[in-house]
């Protein structure tokens, strides 16, 4: 069952203080409301993974890792690799997160990222066949939220994209007679083929104002948000409205414009940050 | 006629339907409307709106067709004891909010919880007639039996109907209720929470009364209901040979 | 990818089931079909059939879940094990069902005046009886009338429909086969009288222009379904009056 969440209690004067700052065009931390916090990426934080990144968006920290395994293709797509996305909010990330299987928020997060990558064909899964109809690469993307300070979806998508863009497929050999695949993870064969970059831009509604990249405190007073997934070729490749707030048609159009502009900007930035990473 | 003849118009509204109000209009049941702007309100529940016009004044009455019983101070309710503590009872009043009756209210000031067990006054399963003394949505309901006719119920039978239809069982100026008691010779105690207690001279009459009440419930939104129910009771009595057919 | 080659729009512009792009499937709404639930409804969008039942406001069990300032809304979306084409669906909740339970709750909750009933619970059960595309949208449409049937105060009803893209053409209310082979599927829920969007999702790819057109197309269809909802509610309460 999905239940109304118990929200953090925000003192009323704090709410009006936040609203007041935003009405002047600024975040609580004095950024412009349409500006993202600084994005910082550390690569290869878990050398045993085929790719791993620690992404910081302000104080929000996301750990994303990729494991490549040899798997069986689905019968309806015998020559395509498989993508599996999971997300978990670890209890260390916030006093309100509890241990246990992923809750609805973590599942929603994973599914938003999964759909955005899949629908946009961001990864060239059709180039991940090993033995036609029998063996393909399974791409496990696991996302862990390490520290919460707002905007988990955008941060997780950035972390995922950064991890994917810096993944190398290990060296492997197929024994032609037995069909057994030998993998040597100490050597690389080729970079994971990426068709296009995808990012998400989440716009939160606080009072009647639209902001991007809220910190946790601001997110707690937002009535709702809309996440637009934007691809490198300027298409909308996913949408998810979240929370109890509502949006008028005009607001939705405005949100879309913001998402397209910001999406472009962040993709360029992400490309710069992932360039020359081996 | 028992019904008011001033009713000019009756319409059904659904959540989201808008209602325009002007300065000459008064509304009974404003809690069922949501204010959109100065003159426009929206219905929040499926309800009937009776429009009465007198000279240049308009009066709207919003009667919801369904919904849980929400306690109101001063309402008389019929409750069942569901739990007993040292100095109070928890009472189910057919509402999302359960009620409490304090022992000192029922037994009196000189009651001492350390020596006396309050179960001997009221125990789990007992039924009582009580009044809502206090209600605050975030705190709960406090009952009292300090009024005439209130207290433990030991005889009679209970009928339950939709709480929002209770107003029709009572009728305007108790017209429906008086007619029911007159025609069936039953004592009828109506709880605002949808529970009705009957004490009838015979099983036959009790049965007819129950049928009549159920008919009021299912036809609550029709006009001229009191007359219709009266005819129904007379017909039933004739059918059962309790009276001979009378020419009205 | 190769599935996209299926021809979903014929030369004359009609879809595989003969509908025009902006045409809804036959829609049926029945209200008050369960005795015990405070409110209930069955909604059919073509072969998709969804039951919604509402209980409440009622006491919150367990007690610690209650909220001091409003009612807690709990929602469960579920597909019955035989509701899908092909294999039996496992009755264990899937990730999709968990997400949709949340999405449906968030689509309905803005319409419910839950602050009128602090410390109570309103439970919404959405059971998919037969699935042929659009189960979440039919579920929202059903749950909204079930809430109204339960007498729960609401700002407005909520109506949902999906807009999709097939062979480059924007269409409404995708059936199962269309849904599986569409380039985009965008379910949307609106409070029609207030013009407020309570749910918006997109699974697939749309250009910004397509997105704008899709929104308008959705609103058009939603208004049609809204009339059917209101008619069904009126029908229920006016039958006794003759």
8 A C-beta contact, residue B77 and residue B93: yes
- d(CA A93, CA A89) in angstroms, rounded, equals 7
Q: What is the pLDDT along chain B (248 residues), one digit of tens a residue?
A: 344 445 667 888 999 999 988 888 888 888 899 998 888 999 999 998 888 887 778 888 888 888 899 899 999 999 999 999 988 999 999 999 989 999 999 988 777 878 888 998 999 999 999 999 999 877 789 999 999 889 999 999 999 999 989 988 998 889 999 999 999 999 999 999 999 999 999 999 999 999 999 999 988 877 788 999 999 999 999 988 888 766 55
Q: How far is CA A200 from CA A40, A91, C98, in A?
A: 17, 25, 22
* Chosen from C237, C238, C240, C241 to mutate, greatest number of chain B CBs within 10 A: C237
- Quote the minimal CA–CA distance from C196 to chain A in Å: 5
* Cross-chain Cβ contact C151/B137 below 8 Å: no
pLDDT band at A95 (very low <50, low <70, confident <90, very high): confident
* Chosen from C202, C206, C214 to mutate, greatest number of chain A CBs within 10 A: C202
* Cross-chain Cβ contact B46/C39 below 8 Å: no
Proportion of chain B in helix, strand, coil states, percent, rounded to 5:
25, 35, 40
- Quote the minimal CA–CA distance from B100 to chain C in Å: 15
The pLDDT tens digits for A109-159 are 999 999 999 999 999 999 999 999 999 999 999 999 999 999 999 999 999
* Cross-chain Cβ contact C195/A249 below 8 Å: yes
pLDDT score for C1: 42
pLDDT score for B246: 62
Could you tell me the two tokens for A195?
Answer: 């068709």
Sign of CA dihedral A258, C103, A236, A192: positive
Residue C112 touches chain B, beta carbons under 8 Å: no
Report which of residues A6 and C56 the model is more confident about: C56
- Quote the minimal CA–CA distance from C144 to chain B in Å: 10
Q: Domains along chain A?
A: 5-196 (3.30.230.70)
Residues of A in contact with C95 (CB under 8 A): 107, 110-111
* Cross-chain Cβ contact C105/A3 below 8 Å: yes
- Cβ neighbors of A10 (< 8 A, separation 6 or more) are A217, A220, A221
Could you tell me the two tokens for A50?
Answer: 């085929």
- For chain C, the domains span 27-241
- Quote the minimal CA–CA distance from C39 to chain A in Å: 18
Residues of B in contact with C113 (CB under 8 A): 34, 44
Residue C61 touches chain A, beta carbons under 8 Å: no
- Its pTM stands at 0.90
End-to-end CA distance of chain C: 56
| Arithmetic mean of pLDDT, A195-212 | 97
Residues of A in contact with C199 (CB under 8 A): 241
Residues of A in contact with C198 (CB under 8 A): 241, 246
* Cross-chain Cβ contact C237/B12 below 8 Å: yes
pLDDT score for B219: 87
CATH entry, C27-241, from 3.40.50.300, 3.30.230.70, 3.40.50.1950, 3.40.50.720 = 3.30.230.70
- Cβ neighbors of A155 (< 8 A, separation 6 or more) are A55, A57, A60, A61, A62
Report which of residues A260 and C239 the model is more confident about: A260
- d(CA C200, CA A252) in angstroms, rounded, equals 10
Residue C76 touches chain A, beta carbons under 8 Å: yes
* Cross-chain Cβ contact A249/C186 below 8 Å: no
pLDDT band at A69 (very low <50, low <70, confident <90, very high): very high
**In C144-231, which ranges are E strands?**
159-166, 169-172, 184-191, 196-206
Q: Which of C113, C137, C146 is nearest to C185 (CA)?
A: C137
- Quote the minimal CA–CA distance from B67 to chain C in Å: 4
Q: Domains along chain B?
A: 2-64 (2.40.50), 76-152 (2.40.50.140), 157-239 (3.30.1370.10)
pLDDT score for A244: 92
Residue C23: other Cβ atoms inside 10 A: 15
> Is A161 a residue whose pLDDT tops 70?
yes
pLDDT score for C5: 63
Q: What is the pLDDT along chain C (242 residues), one digit of tens a residue?
A: 444 467 899 999 999 999 999 999 999 999 999 989 999 999 999 999 999 999 989 999 888 888 988 999 999 999 999 999 988 999 999 999 999 999 999 999 999 999 999 999 999 999 999 999 999 999 999 999 999 999 999 999 999 999 999 999 999 999 999 999 999 999 999 999 999 999 999 999 999 999 999 999 999 999 999 999 999 999 987 764 43
Report which of residues B82 and A96 the model is more confident about: B82
The pLDDT tens digits for B147-203 are 988 999 999 999 999 998 998 899 888 999 999 999 999 999 999 999 999 999 999
Contacts of A171-180 with CB under 8 Å at 24 or more apart are A172/A70, A172/A130, A174/A130, A174/A131, A174/A135, A179/A131, A179/A134, A179/A135
Residues of C in contact with A115 (CB under 8 A): 203
8 A C-beta contact, residue A206 and residue A247: no
Nearest CA in chain B to C230: B14
């Amino acid at each position: 069952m999905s239940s109304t969440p118990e929200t953090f209690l925000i003192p009323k004067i704090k709410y009006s203080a936040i609203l007041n700052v935003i009405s002047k065009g600024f975040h609580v931390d004095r950024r412009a409301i349409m500006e993202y916090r600084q994005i910082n990426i550390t690569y290869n934080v878990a050398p045993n993974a085929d790719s791993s990144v620690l992404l910081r968006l302000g104080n929000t920290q996301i750990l994303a890792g990729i494991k490549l395994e040899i798997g069986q293709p689905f019968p309806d797509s015998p020559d395509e690799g498989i993508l599996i996305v999971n997300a978990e909010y670890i209890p260390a990330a916030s006093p309100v997160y509890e241990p246990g299987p992923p809750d609805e928020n973590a599942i929603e997060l994973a599914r938003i990222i999964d759909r955005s990558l899949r629908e946009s064909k961001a990864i060239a899964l059709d180039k991940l066949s090993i033995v036609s109809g029998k063996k393909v690469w399974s791409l496990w993307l696991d996302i862990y939220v390490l520290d919460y300070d707002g905007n988990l979806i955008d941060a997780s998508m950035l972390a995922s994209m950064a991890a994917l863009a810096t993944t190398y497929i290990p060296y492997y050999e197929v024994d032609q007679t037995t069909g057994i695949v030998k993998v040597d993870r100490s050597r690389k064969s080729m970079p994971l083929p990426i068709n296009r970059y995808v990012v998400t831009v989440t716009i939160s509604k606080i009072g009647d104002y639209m902001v991007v990249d809220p910190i946790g405190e601001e997110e707690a007073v937002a009535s709702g948000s809309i996440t637009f997934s934007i691809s490198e070729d300027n298409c909308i490749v996913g949408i998810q409205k979240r929370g109890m707030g509502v949006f008028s048609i005009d607001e939705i159009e405005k949100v879309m414009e913001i998402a397209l502009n910001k999406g472009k900007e962040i993709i360029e930035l992400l490309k710069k940050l992932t360039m020359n990473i081996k | 006629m028992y019904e008011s003849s001033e009713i000019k118009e009756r319409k059904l509204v659904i959540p989201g339907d808008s209602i325009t109000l002007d300065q000459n209009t008064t509304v009974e049941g404003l809690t069922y409307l949501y204010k959109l702007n100065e003159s426009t309100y929206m219905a929040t529940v499926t309800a009937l709106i009776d429009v009465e016009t007198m000279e240049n004044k308009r009066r709207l009455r919003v009667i919801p067709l369904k919904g849980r019983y929400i306690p109101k101070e001063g309402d008389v309710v019929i409750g069942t004891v569901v739990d007993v503590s040292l100095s109070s009872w928890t009472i189910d009043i057919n509402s999302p909010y359960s009620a409490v009756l304090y022992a000192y209210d029922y037994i009196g000031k000189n009651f001492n919880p350390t020596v006396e067990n309050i179960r001997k006054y009221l125990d789990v399963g007992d039924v009582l007639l009580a009044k809502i003394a206090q209600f605050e949505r975030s705190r709960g309901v406090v009952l009292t039996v300090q009024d005439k006719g209130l207290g433990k119920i030991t005889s009679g039978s209970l009928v339950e109907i939709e709480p929002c239809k209770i107003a029709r069982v009572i009728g305007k100026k108790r017209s429906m209720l008086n007619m029911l008691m007159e025609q069936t010779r039953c004592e009828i105690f109506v709880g605002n929470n949808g529970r009705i207690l009957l004490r009838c001279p015979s099983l036959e009459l009790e049965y007819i009364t129950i049928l009549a009440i159920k008919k009021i419930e299912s036809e609550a939104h029709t006009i001229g209901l009191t007359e219709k129910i009266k005819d129904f009771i007379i017909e039933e009595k004739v059918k059962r040979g309790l009276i001979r057919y009378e020419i009205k | 990818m190769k599935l996209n080659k299926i021809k979903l729009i014929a030369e004359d512009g009609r879809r595989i089931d003969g509908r025009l792009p902006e045409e809804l499937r036959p829609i049926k709404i029945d209200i008050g079909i369960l005795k015990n639930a405070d409110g209930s409804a069955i909604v059919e969008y073509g072969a998709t059939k969804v039951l919604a039942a509402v209980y409440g406001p009622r006491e919150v069990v367990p007690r610690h879940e209650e909220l001091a300032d409003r009612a807690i809304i709990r929602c469960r979306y579920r597909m019955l094990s035989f509701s899908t084409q092909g294999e039996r669906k496992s009755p264990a909740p899937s990730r999709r069902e968990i997400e949709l339970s949340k999405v449906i709750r968030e689509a309905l909750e803005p319409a419910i005046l839950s602050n009128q009933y602090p410390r109570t619970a309103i439970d919404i059960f959405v059971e998919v009886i037969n699935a042929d595309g659009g189960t979440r949208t039919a579920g929202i449409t059903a749950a909204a009338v079930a809430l109204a049937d339960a007498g729960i105060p609401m700002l407005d009803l909520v109506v949902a429909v999906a807009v999709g893209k097939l062979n480059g053409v924007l269409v409404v209310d995708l059936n199962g086969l269309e849904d599986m082979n569409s380039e985009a599927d965008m379910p949307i829920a609106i409070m029609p009288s207030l013009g407020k969007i309570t749910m918006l999702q997109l699974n697939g790819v749309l250009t910004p222009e397509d997105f704008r057109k899709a929104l308008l197309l959705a609103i058009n269809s939603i208004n049609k379904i809204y009339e059917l909802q209101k008619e069904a509610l009126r029908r229920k309460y006016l039958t006794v009056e003759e």
